[in-house]
Amino acid sequence: MNITLLGAGAWGTALAIAFAGKHEVTLWSREEDVAVDLRETRENRRFFPGHRLPDPVAVTTDFSAAIAGADWLVVATPIAGLRPTVERLKALGCTAPLLWVCKGFEAGSGKLPHQVVAEVLGEQAVYGALSGPSFAEEVAAGQPTAVSLAANDPAFAREAARQLHTPRLRIYANDDLVGVEVGGAVKNVLAIATGACDGLGLGLNSRAALITRGLAEIARLGVALGGQRETFMGLAGMGDLILTCTGDLSRNRRVGLGLAQGKSLAQILDELGHVAEGVYTAREVDRLARDLGVEMPISAAVAAVLDGRMGAAEAVDRLMARDPKEELA
């Protein structure tokens, strides 16, 4: 099967490595210098150093050539790049089934990725999301990983999960595209909160409480948007949340740690050198929750800290000062 990865950042490169042993893989890069580096050294020294790209993987900056003959496409850009990428596909008349690995809500519109794709390509398109507890570095290194694949066509979800499954990347088909996307989006916001909690030295009790109550927030929003509650107990919900909140490779967790140290957001993002989707998602989640009347106090606190309306320590104090509630209400 011919698979094209659109985007040669960490995730595009990692998936090209993972799929190369089973499929014919093309990796498209927007940056000419990255493509040259990948072709000449077989390493993405700019975005993903330390991981060798298998020799059979083709690398190109020619978008039309990259998608020509592809059986499936995988968009591996940040969510800000999803709409322009899909618009290019539409302009070229490409109708190949489409997957994406970006997580979040589109800035400004508040749309989930599948809503963006449907808006551009139409409901007749076949598309889906690959999401779950996975760091690109570990996928590229061949560490055992399990994720969910949800699509607008259940038959395609099952077939894609079977085809993309490898001995080290276990993929489970899922029929709840909304739930899978909400879990992948909001966990990044909670990872910022957990990073701040750890950075303030508040202890393991606090971390466990944040993760657990954060999962409740994710589920409330997901159900309000049409997702299935059980999805949030699975890989794309609880699994991804635990990993992103506790793993040192998490960019969003590192944002929280930096905020707790008193660093400015601009300084933190400059030091990261990569996109931390939770920074942009937090504002959209907070706005969406208020519009829907969904109670999400942790997410609201993260948005307030990121916007400079309060400090990390003050946010913790306000959360703890809230009136007692029924846990499962």
**What residues are labeled active site?**
187
Cα distances (Å, whole numbers) of residue 207 to 85, 191, 242, 313? 37, 10, 10, 14
Question: In the structure encoding, which two tokens stand for residue 327, read together?
Answer: 């846990």
Determine contact, residues 111/86, Cβ cutoff 8 Å: no
- Please choose, from the candidates 196, 192, 191, the residue with its C-alpha nearest in 3D space to the C-alpha of residue 314: 196
Determine contact, residues 101/130, Cβ cutoff 8 Å: yes
Paired with 128 in beta bridges are 99, 151
- Please choose, from the candidates 119, 126, 225, the residue with its C-alpha nearest in 3D space to the C-alpha of residue 180: 225
User: What is the CB neighbour count within 10 angstroms for residue 133?
Assistant: 22
d(CA 160, CA 168): 16
d(CA 226, CA 114): 13
Residue type, 204: L
Size (the chain), residues? 329
Q: Work out the angle at residue 58's Cα, subtended by the Cα atoms of residues 147 and 78, and round it to the nearest 5 degrees.
A: 45
d(CA 236, CA 240): 5
d(CA 283, CA 187): 14
Q: Which residues have CB under 8 Å from 87's CB, separation 6+?
A: 120
